[in-house]
């Protein structure tokens, strides 16, 4: 009975299910079509269609990059990356935990942001925690760039090409897998510009509080991440004043008085909230430096500051960019070319020029100008000798700090979007004889060509990133210099006891790779404990890691102390050696 | 009066006079069948006939002349002054002329024998003659004649009869002395031993802040539990009803003709432009207009708004009531005046810009009815519910940063904390609007204290102290969040000052107060009413300590008790975090994540509260009764793009 009644039912259900399936597919296609069309719509109000999809895609791509980097171990190649990991963890895991562990060599925020990601020992020592933070930054950057492009009125092609610039850049994706500070800076930088563009293009004037949150807070993050952020804030004030001026512009008989009283002053007053946040951040940083080191400018002038470290190089005459604008431009532009790729540099620059010559000082041009501020900062920094970059075109040629050329990626992404949008717009209008479909096809042409070129460029890099991407290559150079044997020995043979070392000395940035908690170390960051360990090593440390090279700018203080007080270290035996790096172990049978 | 004329139907009179059509009569009859009430009222409400024409027809029906009390005012003031004005207002008639023992009354209700007997019961009246007049004329006459008496009742009666419940006498001596003595003690400590004084201050300010925060968070944490319990309870009721074969929908939707008259008080001051909006918003209510008694309360000296209100020609269920000038000129005073003339069994207050959800009045009635059934059939000891508070939410939440923060705060307050307090059986400080009362009980309680600038919170506590209950209902009123910092600070100053005053009023006689309020009242008083101002007064100091500790500044050789510094920092950080999370969840559920994510700015937002708290403390000393009015319509051009989440629909 059940079979007899069941079969006809099954037969009648099949076409219904099929029809339902078709209906679902049609509905899905219709929704996808509506979504696709929404990406081309001008942005009105707060929502920018496609933001979530872009953010999720950016996150997924960065996670894939993180996985690849983890499998090759390249996410921990950079010595600076290892130092950042160490600093972040020692805030809570150290013989002397606390916020003073932030130190002053680097700005503090990336380390603070890293804390939850390095709380787990494995995530810290493998660098995976940093990769996760980097993935978040990459997602935020992609979303912000997309929203900027959308709010600036670029069409779908421009918006998508802008994010494609990020997603096809091997150097940028790689850097997001590391604990370096650039991903945080770039994300904060892009978010600041996104907030400012929202403010500049909003139909209803945004309040000071909103400006503070949407632009001021990310600017504060940028400011407390890298010094490029400080220039960003100055540029931000100029941008706000310029936009206010344009917005209110020229309806008076006394323009100068009018500009001064009714444009510039209100323009500077209105965003006071917006620029307050970054200055609060700076105030905190100065207070911190004063509280810990009794000098608010310790980060600038202290022994570990970039200024002090570069002083020797300058004295030796190997910072050839200092005082020479031509070399500074050549060195930096070459890094840009290598890192961002020819397609992006050419299309981005052309896009900006196209906008400038067709629109003058429009909101778009001002925004791209704001994004250009990192480029100006880096070139000025090279020229003033504050920053050193060594690449194929520097003297001496080498690989050092080439990753500084990643920062202007936001400018070039937006410039490329402008290029595609403007060119597509012209092609859509000009040949009327081509008919509507033909014009649409022509309009899509620049986007398709640029997208294919970006993918080709990505493929070229991806085939041999260790050689073709200078950023990855520089990381690989750090790997070559790494005292791997010492690390491996310590990791495998550690049987308890503390380790005495100075992590700041050359080749000593290895702590995460050993995989032991920070509290097992007597490092210079532990202050009085470190001094006590030096004076009485046998009661404090079972292991000592030193760099025995004396031919460096900064010889290892522990090794220097050992040389001066040999009697204190007589009971230590060398158990591992990797070049100049030596690992000592306390003789167990010492009375 | 002609006996034959009495039997003529009003519809026939109006038809004969050509004032209405048969279709209009039929439509009004239909509404009368559906909603109950008088046919004449439905004809007026539908606009078929003017009020004056209707009363002219009624005069014909009653076979008496119609008089205009504006051009021919009453000269029987002795009667009007000797009797409670509300008695005439409620009865619908007033003494008009007295001559040789014959009292002529002007009535807006049918001159039944009961009416005549009431008139005859007045001293010295031997005979009664009747004139017809409109209900407006009656009201105006009562207002004019009873002006002084009404003024006293709405302003000072409560302070004279129950001075311990009124804020008129302000902060009493020992209450002034305690904070002064405390401050002197602290100052002395700073002079004698500054390090110890700093440590003590640090501990005190942290404790003050944390007590308030912990109370709010814990109260809010009960909300999800309460929600789950309610759902389970509803499910059980539905299952039981199904078992007994009863319809699943319960409580049933009360038929229109069974609904009571509902009075809505809308105090408006210096807001000429909002009157049309008030009417438009109240027009959305799912409640028969014939059962609505809307009173727009205007201040006598606010001629601009009065003119604007009259010019809008409000519908017939809306009364424009002008409150006589007096001091203090406050919202509770205006509401008290409105309450004098309220016709409804229930009364609710809405602010001028409020947009109550359509189901609100029905939900309130359901809550009162449910409480009645609970007391009758389940637990006679259940406290009688005399007031319910609807949630408040903001339609302009995403206007700017301040409105977002305000919306987050309100979401936590009304959607988490108040339901939590309600569930815990603790007294609720009412919000300034959308609180619904039983009219009779509210009058018996003395209504609002006109000298208290947060009369709502005060009334909530007074209700609890009398053994009655205040509850919350799952419906909301959309309001306009104050979007300007300066106006926000003024508004918050008033609220915090009101909390200070309410705390001082309630704690004048601590022992007596505790005996009538119990431990629940004490918790609400200490942690919320008194705790809120104290927390915000102390917040800048506790924040300062935390920040100083965080940036690593050494504590200047101070010797904190073991763990005190860490405990302080942990309390501050954990307290802030708990409040941020708690309010973010509430805002997420009420609005969306875009609003909720701003909860992380709460610590900054609380600094604004602190500014208001210190301002309030200053005003408490120099000017305790000043009512700093909140301007409305600052975001008039803005309509929220986000979808406001309401409660589940009524069955």
Nearest CB among A204, A212, A288 relative to B551 is that of A288
Q: Residues with Cβ < 8 Å from B28, sequence gap 6 or more?
A: B11, B39, B42, B43, B46, B48
**Could you tell me if residue A261 is inside a domain?**
yes
B2, pLDDT greater than 70: no
Strand B127-132 and strand B262-268: the pairing is unpaired
| pLDDT: which is higher, A163 or B427 | A163
B553 and chain A in contact, CB less than 8 A: yes
Q: Nearest CA to CA, how far is B589 from chain A (Å)?
A: 20
B180, pLDDT greater than 50: yes
Same domain, A255 and A210: yes
B134, pLDDT greater than 70: yes
A432, pLDDT greater than 80: no
Whether residue A99 and residue B598 make contact (CB cut-off 8 A), yes or no, is no
- Which chain B residues have a beta carbon less than 8 Å from that of A46? 398, 594, 641
Q: Nearest CA to CA, how far is A45 from chain B (Å)?
A: 9
A400, pLDDT greater than 90: no
| pLDDT: which is higher, A433 or B67 | B67
Q: Nearest CA to CA, how far is A157 from chain B (Å)?
A: 27
Interface test with B, best of A213, A220, A284 (most B CBs within 10 A): A213
With residue B94 as reference, give the H or E element that holds it.
strand B93-99
| C-alpha span between B542 and B569 (Å, rounded) | 9
pLDDT band at A6 (very low <50, low <70, confident <90, very high): very low
pLDDT band at A243 (very low <50, low <70, confident <90, very high): confident
A296, pLDDT greater than 50: yes
- Given a contact cutoff of 8 angstroms between Cβ atoms, the answer to whether A138 and A187 are in contact is yes
- Which chain A residues have a beta carbon less than 8 Å from that of B544? none
Average pLDDT over residues B109-124: 91
Nearest CB among B402, B483, B553 relative to A291 is that of B553
Q: What percent of chain A has pLDDT over 90?
A: 60
A206 and chain B in contact, CB less than 8 A: yes
**How big is the CA angle at A383 (ends A381 and A389), to the nearest 5 degrees?**
70
Whether residue A284 and residue B551 make contact (CB cut-off 8 A), yes or no, is yes
Same domain, A467 and A557: no
A264, pLDDT greater than 60: no
- Given a contact cutoff of 8 angstroms between Cβ atoms, the answer to whether B66 and B132 are in contact is yes
Q: Supply the pLDDT for residue B603.
A: 87
Q: Nearest CA to CA, how far is B594 from chain A (Å)?
A: 10
**Could you tell me if residue A1 is inside a domain?**
no
Nearest CB among B400, B550, B641 relative to A209 is that of B400
Q: Supply the pLDDT for residue B202.
A: 80
Q: Supply the pLDDT for residue A250.
A: 54
A540, pLDDT greater than 60: yes
Nearest CB among B400, B554, B638 relative to A210 is that of B400
A314, pLDDT greater than 80: no
A272-287, pLDDT tens digit by residue? Answer: 555 566 666 677 777 7
For A193-202, A370-379, A516-525, B274-283, which range has the lowest pLDDT when averaged over its residues?
A: B274-283
| pLDDT: which is higher, A14 or A236 | A236
**Range(s) of the domain holding residue A77:** 51-473
pLDDT band at B267 (very low <50, low <70, confident <90, very high): very high
Interface test with A, best of B396, B397, B401, B566 (most A CBs within 10 A): B401
A78, pLDDT greater than 90: yes
Per-position DSSP letters for B181-242, written without gaps between them: HHHHHHHHHHHH-HHHHHHHHHHHHHHHHHHHHHHHHHHHHHHHHHHHHHHHHHHHHHHHHH
Q: Supply the pLDDT for residue B559.
A: 66
Q: Supply the pLDDT for residue B7.
A: 64
pTM listed for this prediction: 0.80
Same domain, A468 and A516: no
Q: Supply the pLDDT for residue B651.
A: 46
| DSSP-based three-state secondary structure for A40 | coil
A69, pLDDT greater than 50: yes
A549, pLDDT greater than 50: yes
For A435, the token pair is 């008919």
Q: Nearest CA to CA, how far is A54 from chain B (Å)?
A: 18
Q: Nearest CA to CA, how far is B406 from chain A (Å)?
A: 13
For B442, the token pair is 């509210």
Q: Supply the pLDDT for residue B353.
A: 85
Whether residue A206 and residue B400 make contact (CB cut-off 8 A), yes or no, is yes
Q: Supply the pLDDT for residue B544.
A: 80
Last residue of a domain, one of A431, A447, A473: A473
For A8-17, A451-460, B491-500, which range has the lowest pLDDT when averaged over its residues?
A: A8-17
pLDDT band at A505 (very low <50, low <70, confident <90, very high): confident
Nearest CB among A98, A209, A284 relative to B402 is that of A209
B150, pLDDT greater than 80: yes
Last residue of a domain, one of A421, A455, A473: A473
For A33-42, A66-75, A390-399, A579-588, which range has the lowest pLDDT when averaged over its residues?
A: A390-399
Alpha helices in A73-168 (DSSP H): 79-90, 109-114, 121-125, 128-151, 156-167
How many angstroms from the chain centroid is the CA of residue B195?
48
- Which chain A residues have a beta carbon less than 8 Å from that of B401? 207, 209-210, 212-213
Residue A574 has a CB neighbour count (10 Å cut-off) of: 11
- Which chain B residues have a beta carbon less than 8 Å from that of A47? 641
Same domain, A496 and A581: yes
Q: Nearest CA to CA, how far is A115 from chain B (Å)?
A: 16
pLDDT band at B647 (very low <50, low <70, confident <90, very high): low
> Which residue in chain B has the smallest CA separation from A290?
B553
Same domain, A362 and A495: no
The label of the residue with tokens 């700015």 reads B601
| Cβ within 8 Å of B, A 29-88 | 45-47
Question: Residue B392 pairs with which residues in a beta bridge?
Answer: B477
Same domain, A466 and A510: no
B306-340, pLDDT tens digit by residue? Answer: 998 888 888 889 999 999 998 888 899 999 999 99
What does R_g of chain A's alpha carbons equal in angstroms? 28
Q: Supply the pLDDT for residue B637.
A: 54
| pLDDT: which is higher, A7 or A550 | A550
| C-alpha span between A116 and A123 (Å, rounded) | 10
Exposure string for B431-450, b = 16+ CB within 10 A, e = fewer: bbbbbbbbbeebbebbbbbb
Q: What percent of chain B has pLDDT over 90?
A: 35
How much is the mean pLDDT over chain A?
87
Q: Supply the pLDDT for residue A267.
A: 43
B398 and chain A in contact, CB less than 8 A: yes
Same domain, A320 and A359: yes
| C-alpha span between A537 and A568 (Å, rounded) | 7
Per-position DSSP letters for A446-495, written without gaps between them: HHHHHHHHHHHHHHHHHHSHHHH-HHHHHHHHHHHHS-HHHHHHHHHH--
Q: Residues with Cβ < 8 Å from B239, sequence gap 6 or more?
A: none
A276 and chain B in contact, CB less than 8 A: no
The label of the residue with tokens 């009758």 reads B376
| C-alpha span between B556 and B196 (Å, rounded) | 12
| pLDDT: which is higher, A102 or A492 | A492
B556 and chain A in contact, CB less than 8 A: no
A190, pLDDT greater than 70: yes
pLDDT band at B3 (very low <50, low <70, confident <90, very high): very low
Domain count, chain A: 2
A97-143, pLDDT tens digit by residue? Answer: 877 787 777 888 999 999 999 999 999 999 999 999 999 999 999 99
| C-alpha span between B582 and B575 (Å, rounded) | 10
**Could you tell me if residue A2 is inside a domain?**
no
The label of the residue with tokens 């406050």 reads B330
Same domain, A451 and A516: no
Most confident range (mean pLDDT) of A64-78, A285-299, B478-492 is A64-78
- Which chain B residues have a beta carbon less than 8 Å from that of A147? none
Q: Nearest CA to CA, how far is B485 from chain A (Å)?
A: 10
Whether residue A287 and residue B402 make contact (CB cut-off 8 A), yes or no, is no
Whether residue A207 and residue B551 make contact (CB cut-off 8 A), yes or no, is no
Nearest CB among A100, A210, A212 relative to B552 is that of A100
| DSSP-based three-state secondary structure for B99 | strand
**Could you tell me if residue A33 is inside a domain?**
no
Question: Residue B127 pairs with which residues in a beta bridge?
Answer: B102
- Which chain A residues have a beta carbon less than 8 Å from that of B402? 207, 209
Same domain, A213 and A314: yes
- Interchain CB contacts (distance < 8 Å): A and B: 36
**How big is the CA angle at A482 (ends A480 and A487), to the nearest 5 degrees?**
135
Q: Supply the pLDDT for residue B552.
A: 47
Q: How does DSSP classify residue B400?
A: S
B400 and chain A in contact, CB less than 8 A: yes
Nearest CB among B552, B554, B641 relative to A45 is that of B641
Nearest CB among B398, B551, B598 relative to A291 is that of B551
Whether residue A291 and residue B401 make contact (CB cut-off 8 A), yes or no, is no
- Which chain B residues have a beta carbon less than 8 Å from that of A99? 550-552
pLDDT band at A256 (very low <50, low <70, confident <90, very high): low
A317 and chain B in contact, CB less than 8 A: no
Same domain, A188 and A305: yes
- Which chain A residues have a beta carbon less than 8 Å from that of B551? 99, 284, 287-288, 291
Average pLDDT over residues A305-312: 70
**Could you tell me if residue A35 is inside a domain?**
no
**Could you tell me if residue A10 is inside a domain?**
no
pLDDT band at B41 (very low <50, low <70, confident <90, very high): confident
B377-418, pLDDT tens digit by residue? Answer: 889 988 999 999 999 989 889 888 899 999 999 999 988 898
B477, pLDDT greater than 90: yes
**Could you tell me if residue A18 is inside a domain?**
no
- Given a contact cutoff of 8 angstroms between Cβ atoms, the answer to whether B63 and B1 are in contact is yes
Nearest CB among A98, A204, A210 relative to B401 is that of A210
Same domain, A398 and A546: no
Q: Residues with Cβ < 8 Å from B270, sequence gap 6 or more?
A: B302, B304, B305, B629
- Given a contact cutoff of 8 angstroms between Cβ atoms, the answer to whether B264 and B294 are in contact is yes
Average pLDDT over residues A500-516: 92
A292 and chain B in contact, CB less than 8 A: yes
A362 CB burial (10 A radius; 0-12, 13-18, 19+): middle
B250 and chain A in contact, CB less than 8 A: no
Q: Supply the pLDDT for residue A5.
A: 45
Nearest CB among A209, A212, A292 relative to B552 is that of A292
> Which residue in chain A has the smallest CA separation from B555?
A291
- Which chain B residues have a beta carbon less than 8 Å from that of A291? 551-554
Q: Nearest CA to CA, how far is B224 from chain A (Å)?
A: 29
Whether residue A207 and residue B554 make contact (CB cut-off 8 A), yes or no, is no
B4 and chain A in contact, CB less than 8 A: no
Q: How far is CA A457 from CA A511, B410, B553, in A?
A: 36, 53, 51
Same domain, A334 and A463: yes
Within 13 Å and on the Cβ side, how many CA atoms surround B595?
34
Last residue of a domain, one of A453, A473, A493: A473
**Could you tell me if residue A43 is inside a domain?**
no
How much is the mean pLDDT over chain B?
86
């Amino acid at each position: 009975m059940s079979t007899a009644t069941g079969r006809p039912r099954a037969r009648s259900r099949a076409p219904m299910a099929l029809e339902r399936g078709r209906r679902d597919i049609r509905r899905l296609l219709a929704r996808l079509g509506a979504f696709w069309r929404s990406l081309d719509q001008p942005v009105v109000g707060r929502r920018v269609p496609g933001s979530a999809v872009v953010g999720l895609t950016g996150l997924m791509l960065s996670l894939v990059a993180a996985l690849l980097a983890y499998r090759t171990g390249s996410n921990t190649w950079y010595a600076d990356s290892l130092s950042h990991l160490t600093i972040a963890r020692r805030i809570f895991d150290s013989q002397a935990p606390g916020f003073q562990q932030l130190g002053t060599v680097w700005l503090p925020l990336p380390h603070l942001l890293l804390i939850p990601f390095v709380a787990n020992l494995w995530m810290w020592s493998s660098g995976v925690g940093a990769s996760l933070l980097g993935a978040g930054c990459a997602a935020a950057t992609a979303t912000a760039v997309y929203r900027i492009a959308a709010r600036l009125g670029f069409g779908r092609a421009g918006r998508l090409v802008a994010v494609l610039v990020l997603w096809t850049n091997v150097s940028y994706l790689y850097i997001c897998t590391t604990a370096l500070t650039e991903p945080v800076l770039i994300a904060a930088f892009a978010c600041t510009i996104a907030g400012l563009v929202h403010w500049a293009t909003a139909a209803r004037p945004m309040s000071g509080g909103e400006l503070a949150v949407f632009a001021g807070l990310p600017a504060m993050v940028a400011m407390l991440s890298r010094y490029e952020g400080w220039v960003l804030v100055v540029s931000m004030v100029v941008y706000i004043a310029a936009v206010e001026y344009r917005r209110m512009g020229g309806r008076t008989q006394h323009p100068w008085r009018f500009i001064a009283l009714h444009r510039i002053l209100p323009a500077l007053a209105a965003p006071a909230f917006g620029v307050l946040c970054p200055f609060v951040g700076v105030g905190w940083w100065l207070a911190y430096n004063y509280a810990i080191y009794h000098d608010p400018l310790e980060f600038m002038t202290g022994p570990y500051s970039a200024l002090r470290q570069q002083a020797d190089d300058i004295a030796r005459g190997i910072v050839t960019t200092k005082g020479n604008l031509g070399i500074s431009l050549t060195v930096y532009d070459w890094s840009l070319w290598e890192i961002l790729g020819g397609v992006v540099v050419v299309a981005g620059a052309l896009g900006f020029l196209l906008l400038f010559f067709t629109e003058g000082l429009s909101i778009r041009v001002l925004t791209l100008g704001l994004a250009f501020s990192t480029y100006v900062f880096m070139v000025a920094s090279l020229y003033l000798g504050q920053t050193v970059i060594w690449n194929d075109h520097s003297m001496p040629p080498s690989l050092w700090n080439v990753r500084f050329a990643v920062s202007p990626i936001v400018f070039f992404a937006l410039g490329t979007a402008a290029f595609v949008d403007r060119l597509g717009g012209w092609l859509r209008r000009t040949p009327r004889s081509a008919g509507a479909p033909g014009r649409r096809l022509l309009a899509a042409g620049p986007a398709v060509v640029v997208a294919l070129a970006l993918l080709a460029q990505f493929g070229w890099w991806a085939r041999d990133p260790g050689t073709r991407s200078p950023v990855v290559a520089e990381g690989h150079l750090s790997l070559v210099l790494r005292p791997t044997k010492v690390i491996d020995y310590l990791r495998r043979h550690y049987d308890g006891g503390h380790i005495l070392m100075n992590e700041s000395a050359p080749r000593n940035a290895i702590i995460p790779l050993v995989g032991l908690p920070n509290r097992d170390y007597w490092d210079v960051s532990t202050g009085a404990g470190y001094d006590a360990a030096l004076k009485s090593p046998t009661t404090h440390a079972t292991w000592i890691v030193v760099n025995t090279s004396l031919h460096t700018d900064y010889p290892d203080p522990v090794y220097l102390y050992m040389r001066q007080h040999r009697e204190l270290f007589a009971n230590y035996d060398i158990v591992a050696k990797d070049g100049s790096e030596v690992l000592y172990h306390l003789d167990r049978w010492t009375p | 009066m002609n006996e034959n004329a009495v039997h003529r139907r009003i519809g026939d009179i109006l038809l004969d006079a050509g004032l209405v059509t048969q279709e209009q009569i039929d439509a009004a009859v239909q509404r009368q069948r559906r909603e109950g009430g008088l046919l004449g009222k439905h004809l007026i409400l539908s606009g078929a006939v003017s009020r004056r024409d209707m009363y002219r027809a009624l005069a014909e029906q009653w076979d008496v002349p119609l008089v205009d009390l504006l051009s021919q005012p009453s000269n029987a003031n002795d009667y009007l002054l000797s009797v409670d004005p509300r008695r005439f207002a409620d009865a619908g008639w007033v003494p008009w002329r007295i001559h040789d023992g014959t009292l002529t009354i002007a009535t807006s209700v049918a001159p039944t024998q009961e009416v005549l007997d009431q008139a005859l019961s007045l001293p010295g009246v031997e005979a009664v003659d009747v004139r017809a007049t409109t209900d407006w004329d009656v009201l105006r006459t009562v207002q004019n004649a009873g002006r002084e008496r009404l003024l006293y009742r709405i302003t000072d009666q409560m302070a004279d009869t129950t001075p311990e419940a009124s804020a008129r006498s302000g902060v009493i001596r020992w209450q002034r002395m305690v904070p002064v003595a405390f401050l002197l003690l602290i100052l002395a400590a700073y002079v004698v031993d500054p390090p110890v004084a700093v440590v003590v201050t640090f501990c005190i300010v942290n404790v003050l802040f944390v007590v308030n925060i912990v109370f709010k968070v814990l109260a809010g944490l009960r909300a999800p539990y309460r929600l789950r319990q309610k759902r389970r309870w509803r499910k059980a009721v539905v299952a039981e009803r199904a078992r007994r074969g009863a319809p699943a929908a319960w409580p049933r939707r009360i038929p229109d003709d069974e609904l009571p008259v509902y009075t809505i008080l809308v105090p408006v001051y210096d807001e000429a432009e909002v009157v049309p909006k008030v009417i438009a918003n109240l027009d959305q209510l799912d409640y028969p207009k014939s059962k609505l008694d809307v009173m727009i309360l205007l201040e006598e000296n606010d001629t601009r708004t009065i003119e604007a209100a009259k010019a809008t020609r409000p519908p017939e269920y809306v009364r424009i009531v002008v409150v006589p000038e007096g001091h203090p000129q406050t919202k509770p005073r205006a509401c008290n005046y409105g309450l004098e003339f309220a016709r409804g069994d229930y009364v609710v207050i809405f602010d001028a810009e409020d947009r109550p959800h359509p189901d609100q009045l029905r939900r309130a009635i359901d809550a009162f009815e449910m409480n009645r059934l609970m007391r009758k059939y389940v637990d006679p000891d259940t406290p009688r519910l005399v007031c319910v508070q609807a949630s408040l939410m903001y339609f302009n939440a995403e206007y700017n940063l301040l409105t977002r923060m305000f919306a987050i705060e309100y979401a936590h307050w009304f959607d988490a904390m108040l339901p939590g307090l309600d569930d815990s059986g603790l007294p609720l400080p009412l919000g300034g609007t959308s609180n619904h009362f039983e009219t009779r009980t509210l009058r018996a309680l003395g209504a609002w204290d006109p000298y208290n600038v947060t009369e709502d919170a005060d009334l909530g506590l007074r209700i609890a102290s009398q053994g009655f209950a205040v509850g919350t209902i799952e419906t909301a009123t959309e309001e306009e969040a104050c979007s300007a910092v300066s106006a926000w600070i003024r508004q918050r100053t008033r609220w915090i000052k009101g909390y200070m005053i309410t705390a001082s009023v309630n704690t004048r006689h601590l022992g007596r107060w505790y005996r009538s309020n119990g431990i629940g009242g004490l918790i609400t008083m200490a942690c919320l009413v008194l705790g809120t101002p104290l927390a915000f007064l102390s917040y800048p100091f506790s924040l300062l300590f935390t920040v100083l500790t965080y940036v690593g500044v050494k504590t200047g050789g101070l010797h904190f008790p073991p763990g005190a510094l860490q405990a302080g920092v942990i309390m501050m950080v954990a307290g802030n975090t708990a409040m941020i999370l708690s309010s973010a969840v509430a805002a997420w559920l009420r609005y969306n994540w875009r609003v909720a994510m701003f909860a992380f700015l709460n610590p900054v937002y609380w600094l604004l509260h602190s500014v208001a708290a210190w301002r309030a403390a200053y005003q408490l000393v120099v000017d305790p009764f000043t009512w700093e009015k909140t301007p409305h319509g600052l975001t008039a051009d803005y309509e929220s793009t986000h979808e406001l989440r309401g409660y589940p629909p009524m069955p």
